A and B are shown apart, each in its own frame.
Chain A
Amino acid sequence: MSPLMMVRRIGFYVVIAVLMAFFAIPMLWLASAPFDSKPGLGLRWPDWTLDNVKTTFEHPYALTSLWNSLVICVVATVITASFAALAAYALSRVRIPGRDLMLYVLLLLSSVVTGTAAMVPIFVMMFQLGLINSQFGTALVIAGGMLPAAIFILKDFVDSVPRSYEESARVFGASPFQVLTHVVLPVARPGIATILVWAFVNAWGNFLLPFLLIREVGKQPGAVLLRTLQDEGGSANLTVIPVFSLLYSIPVVVLYVLVNKRYGFRFHGGIKS
């Protein structure tokens, strides 16, 4: 190996190592800080203790907020996945003039609808509907924002289900509902699993909408509460934040593992011989 090659190789690995560290250090912090007697913002070998966990569990809002997150996310995810599945099926199978344009416009606007631009109108609308401080209302708005993208992604999956599957089922006497539940949904299952995870993760991390629409601390989800975890002096409460962050990240990981195990993110089928 020539010296030039050597330098190149070393340079390459240095770059990789820096990039890796960028992602790994926060993870390591998440693993060590919760169990450190004096957690800081730096990374160090912890002085093991469970006191932080105890403090967090005793925090008046920490666990409730995680429960709130779960409620909002499950509602938003279920609404998104079920409505997107039905809409994607319809849009994939029925010829509507201007369908593609409609989908693109929806997709474009969806980032506006739940985004910062529409913050004020959304607040006013929800206020007039009396849905401020309502977790269900917040979940509805979040689902509304996710639906266009979910429909867009799922439509692609449904498009790839051959029509002959459905026609075949129809010839055997299946009703439209049977066609959907026996054939289309199972075949599009990896797509729906993807949407489930995607919607849940999106809703779980959503800060702006619950922050706007839920003013009562006891009803706020984890993402909003995290911001308010401060000590009396106004600086970040480092005894609660690390444990809370760890707890906050668990559901997403569990969901990934579960969905992957139960449905798999890939197509059913075997090796073509």
Chain B
Amino acid sequence: MAGIDVRALSTVYPNGVRAVDGLDLEIVDGEFFALLGPSGCGKTTLLRTIAGLEQASSGQVVIGGADVTGVDPGKRKVAMVFQDYALFPHMTVAENIGYPLRVRGESKARQREVAEETSGGLSLAGLLDRRPGQLSGGQQQRVALARAIAMDAGVLLLDEPLSNLDARLRLEARTFLKRLQRELGLTTVFVTHDQAEALALADRIAVMESGKIRQLGSPREVFQRPANTFVANFIGSTPMNLLDAVVRGGFVEVAGARLTLPPGISLADGTPVTAGIRPEYLTAGSGEGITGVVSTVENLGVSSLVTIECPGDALVGLTVPEQYEPEIGTTVTAAPEPGRLLVFDEAGLLLGEAKVAP
């Protein structure tokens, strides 16, 4: 068991790209931690630098209290599951799982014993003598996990653990992974570009962009109070409404409507801001709200995403329960739920206190 402490870490590639840029991060023992960001944001490089597969250009990586910045990957007591699982095709499942022990020079019998022990909990018991090529994607992933667990390391790193599975299997694997992590209590860091995956799995999420962390927090914090417009845009399965607005007399003027400024924010009249609200936090109804004409209705299953055209060519999305779909062309007023309206300043930073609704 070990925590990970990353201090002022930079990883620069030979071609001059700063993939990780002066990053500080502390991951506590036993935490399930997600590195989330669009492709090319440096999340995988950060993971690989923690594993020792990339050399840090500056800064420190501390695992379990020991500075491992210059240490070989194999000596860091870190297990890793690769995106393609990297199962050795010429070895059986048992040999694959026992491989970390083979490297340490343990006996064949002991390798087999550990393979049997580990595979039992991952429902691989009947597959030990197969080769990886004969397994399904989900089974291959469990073999890769078993091999990482068999290493008995303090830290488990997962590179895009669910991306190679088909959509249906992905949901099952997600639940499975979360249960497994809880049972093992292993400090686990995983990389993903899928915000839903990060929200569902992680205890804490670091949202990254161009080698830096843009927000660090629990899934609830990141979802409800994104620290900036980048995070606001990135998180959420339906994109957040981000609208140009102006402050006037304690109100936010946005898309032809006047909404009450959230408490704790006092801005001079005429300050341009960005108003942000998630479609899930808008309800169709009366009262204070943004009024517009329904232009599209997208069915999301249990709810529908309605897009309304508002004055000033602003498009606002809101979700409505399935039985309350408005007709196209009708006028709808979208009212924000109390406390859900976010105001970002011109630099894109969230204004007001960072308090999260329970």
Contact = CB atoms under 8 A, between A and B. Distances in A.
A178 B101 CA distance: 13
A272 interface: yes
A226 B202 CA distance: 75
A99 interface: no
A268 B92 CA distance: 11
A101 to B, nearest CB: 20
A168 B82 contact: yes
A176 to B, nearest CB: 10
B15 to A, nearest CB: 11
B103 A164 contact: no
A165 B90 CA distance: 11
B355 interface: no
Contact of B103 (A95, A173, A267, A273): A173
Contacts of B88: 165, 169, 182-183, 186-187
Interface in B184-208: none
B94 interface: no
Given A182-B102, A268-B131, A271-B134, A170 B90 contact: no
B136 interface: yes
Given A178-B103, A269-B131, A271-B134, A173 B86 contact: no
A173 B75 contact: yes
A23 interface: no
Contacts of B99: 169, 172, 182
Given A187-B89, A268-B89, A270-B134, A170 B74 contact: yes
Nearest to A168: B86
B74 A174 contact: yes
A170 B86 contact: no
Interface in B119-159: 130-136, 147, 151
B51 interface: yes
A171 B83 contact: no
B272 interface: no
A162 B84 contact: yes
B6 interface: no
A100 interface: no
B22 interface: no
A171 B102 contact: no
Interface string B59-101: 0000000000000111100111011101011100000000110
Q: Give the interface centre of A95, A164, A189 by most chain B CB atoms within 10 Å.
A: A164
Contacts of B75: 173
Contacts of A47: none
B83 A164 contact: yes
A159 interface: no
Nearest to A273: B136
Contacts of B79: 171-172
B73 A171 contact: yes
Contacts of A272: 133
Contacts of A174: 74, 103
Contact of A167 (B86, B89, B104): B86
B356 interface: no
B313 to A, nearest CB: 48
Contacts of A187: 88-90
B131 A165 contact: no
Contacts of A270: 130-131, 133-134
Interface of A: 95, 162, 164-165, 167-175, 178, 182-183, 186-187, 189, 267-273
Given A173-B73, A173-B103, A268-B133, 4 more contacts: A172-B74, A182-B102, A268-B89, A269-B133
5 contacts: A168-B82, A168-B86, A171-B53, A171-B80, A173-B74
